[in-house]
Amino acid sequence: MAIRFIVKEPDEVLHKVAKEVTKITPNVQKLLDDMADTMYDAEGVGLAAPQVGILKRLIVVDAGDEHGLIKMINPEIVAKEGEQFGPEGCLSIPGLNGDVRRAEKVTVKGLDREGKLLTVTATGLLSRAFQHEIDHLNGVLFTDIAEKVYDATADEAGSNSK
C-alpha cells in the first residue's frame, strides 16, 4: 500500500491539462494502484493523477456501488444525459463544498490497467465522480463551475458563499 501526497489548491498542476498515456507500463499500473490506496486512505470517491502531482490522464473512482473500484486510463465522456444538481467536495480543496450541475447519466470510455477497452455507463454519484475526475484531467476544479461555494464545516451551507 502506497499513499501519495494529495496536491492542494492553489498548486498550478491542478490547473493544467493532463497528457494522454501512450504506453501502459508497470509504473503506470503502480500509479493507478497508489492512487486507489490514496483515495481510500483520504475517504474519497475519486482521484485523478494531477491530484497527486502527475499530469497523466489517469483516474480512479469508487462510488460504493455495484461497479466497485474503477481504474481508467485516458477516460473520455462519450455520452451525457439528463441533469443532476448537488453538492461536491474535493480532496484537493479541503473544507469547501459547492453546488454543481452535472449530467445525471454518462458513458465513459477508456482503457483498463491492462490496456483493454473499458466502457462504463454511470448514473447518480458515480456519474458525478466520473465528471469531476475527468474535469481534473482538463485543469478544471469544481470551484470553477459551482453555482455556489461554501464552507463545508459551516452549520448553514449558504453562510460563506462564493
Residue 81 annotated to the active site: no
* pLDDT value, residue 156: 45
pLDDT grade for 154, boundaries at 50, 70 and 90: confident
Residue whose grid cell is 473512482: 61
pLDDT digits (tens, 9 = 90+) for 23-60: 999 999 999 999 999 999 999 999 999 999 999 999 99
136 marked as part of a ligand binding site: yes
Domains and CATH numbers, the chain: 12-160 (3.90.45.10)
pLDDT grade for 153, boundaries at 50, 70 and 90: confident
Backbone dihedral region of 19: left (phi > 0), alpha (psi from -120 to 50 degrees) or beta?
A: beta
Query: For the whole model, what pTM was predicted?
Result: 0.93
In this structure, is the dihedral angle defined by the CA atoms of residues 122, 127, 132 and 138, taken in order, positive or negative? positive
Q: What whole-number distance in Å separates Cα of residue 113 and Cα of residue 137?
A: 17
15 marked as part of a ligand binding site: no
Amino acid identity at 56: K
Amino acid identity at 99: D
pLDDT grade for 161, boundaries at 50, 70 and 90: very low
67 marked as part of a ligand binding site: no
Residue 13: DSSP 8-state: G
Position with higher pLDDT, 110 vs 159? 110
pLDDT digits (tens, 9 = 90+) for 99-150: 999 999 999 999 999 999 999 999 999 999 999 999 999 999 999 999 999 9
Looking at 76, 133, 147, 156, which residue is catalytic? 133
DSSP string, 18-61: PBPP-S--HHHHHHHHHHHHHHHHTT-SEEEGGGGT--BSEEEE
